């Protein structure tokens, strides 16, 4: 109930999918929030909902791909929101599903820029406060696509392999500062992920989850909250989770 009282949690991609579920799960433990996303109306709705619970919430529109915008957003924050205790790097996407020879350069850019560089820009901007306090927790949204590659997934998988490497690298580099690092790596989760990957093609998106009970955004938020609420001497390094019907990226039993 109060495991995160007076803690500040920064969430990117806070207005949809796993990010939004994290807001609700972390609110149950009374965390305060810095919520970042590109959709201001939705941010304001979430802010109001969380403030009604008595939580302190600041929201800001930012595109994590834009390092100057990330810097300006940080500089415009009230001081108490500049030093989060927990960062959840949830913003990320797959764009397109094509063989590498057919894939659009814009799709490549948006995935690498958001999933890899965006995660780095946010982390780099806020890491100083954690180093000063010699405590904090960075939770990166990885994927089973960061463990295995599948056809037509080269770039998305590369971006999630990068997240995997970054989480491991942060762990080494920040060890002496007492900062926890966790990678949460889901398989099939039913969010707007497939609608975005297939650019609004509802039939193709629906087929991804056909005959399977997929994970939900809440399942992932629950695991993230677990990692964030362990005793201070515990670091959950990695959580890899799939639906029961999915063994790896390509092996799925459909009924």
Catalytic residues: 156, 160
| Least CB distance to ligand 8X3 at residue 194 (A) | 8
> How big, in percent rounded to 5, are the helix, strand and coil portions of the chain?
45, 15, 35
Contact 64, 37 (CB under 8 A): no
Strand ranges, E, within the chain: 8-12, 32-37, 57-61, 86-89, 136-141, 179-186, 189-190, 215-216, 238-241
Residue 249 makes contact with ligand 8X3 by CB under 6 A: yes
CB atoms within 10 A of CB 70: 23
Residue 143 makes contact with ligand 8X3 by CB under 6 A: yes
Residue 167 makes contact with ligand 8X3 by CB under 6 A: no
Which residue stretch of 52-60, 119-127, 128-136, 143-151 sits at the interface with ligand 8X3 (rule: CB under 6 A)? Answer: 143-151
Residue 10 or 144 with smaller CB distance to ligand 8X3: 144
| Least CB distance to ligand 8X3 at residue 249 (A) | 5
Please name which of 118, 114, 116, 136 lies closest in space to residue 127, comparing C-alpha atoms: 136
Residue 125 or 191 with smaller CB distance to ligand 8X3: 191
Exactly one of 50, 122, 145, 155 binds ligand 8X3 (CB under 6 A); that residue is 145
Residue 85 or 190 with smaller CB distance to ligand 8X3: 190
What phi and psi values does residue 213 have, to the nearest 5 degrees?
-95, 105
Residue 187 makes contact with ligand 8X3 by CB under 6 A: yes
Query: DSSP letter at 82?
Result: S
Contacts (CB under 6 A) with ligand 8X3, residues 65-94? none
Residue 27 or 249 with smaller CB distance to ligand 8X3: 249
Strand-pair category, 32-37 with 8-12:
parallel
Q: Which residues bind ligand 8X3 (CB under 6 A)?
A: 143-145, 153, 187-188, 249
């Amino acid at each position: 109930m109060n495991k995160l009282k007076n803690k500040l949690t920064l969430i990117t991609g806070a207005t949809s999918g796993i990010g939004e579920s994290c807001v609700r799960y972390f609110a149950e433990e009374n965390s305060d929030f810095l919520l970042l996303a590109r959709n201001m109306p939705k941010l304001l709705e979430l802010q109001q909902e969380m403030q009604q619970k008595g939580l302190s919430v600041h929201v800001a529109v930012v595109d994590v791909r834009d390092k100057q915008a990330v810097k300006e957003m940080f500089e415009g924050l009230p001081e108490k929101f500049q030093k989060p205790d927990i960062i959840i790097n949830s913003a990320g996407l797959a764009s397109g599903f094509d063989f590498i020879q057919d894939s659009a350069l814009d799709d490549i850019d948006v995935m690498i820029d958001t999933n890899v560089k965006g995660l780095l820009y946010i982390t780099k901007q806020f890491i100083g406060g954690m180093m000063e306090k010699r405590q904090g927790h960075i939770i990166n949204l990885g994927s089973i696509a960061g463990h295995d590659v599948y056809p037509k997934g080269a770039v998305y998988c590369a971006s999630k392999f990068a997240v995997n490497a970054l989480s491991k690298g942060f762990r080494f580099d920040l060890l002496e500062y007492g900062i926890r690092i966790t990678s949460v790596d889901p398989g099939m989760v039913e969010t707007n992920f497939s609608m975005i990957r297939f650019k609004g093609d509802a039939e193709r998106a629906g087929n991804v989850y056909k005959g399977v009970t997929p994970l939900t955004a809440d399942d992932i938020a629950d695991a993230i909250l677990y990692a964030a609420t362990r005793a201070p001497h515990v670091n959950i390094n990695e959580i890899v989770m799939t639906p029961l019907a999915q063994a790896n990226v390509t092996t799925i039993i459909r009924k």
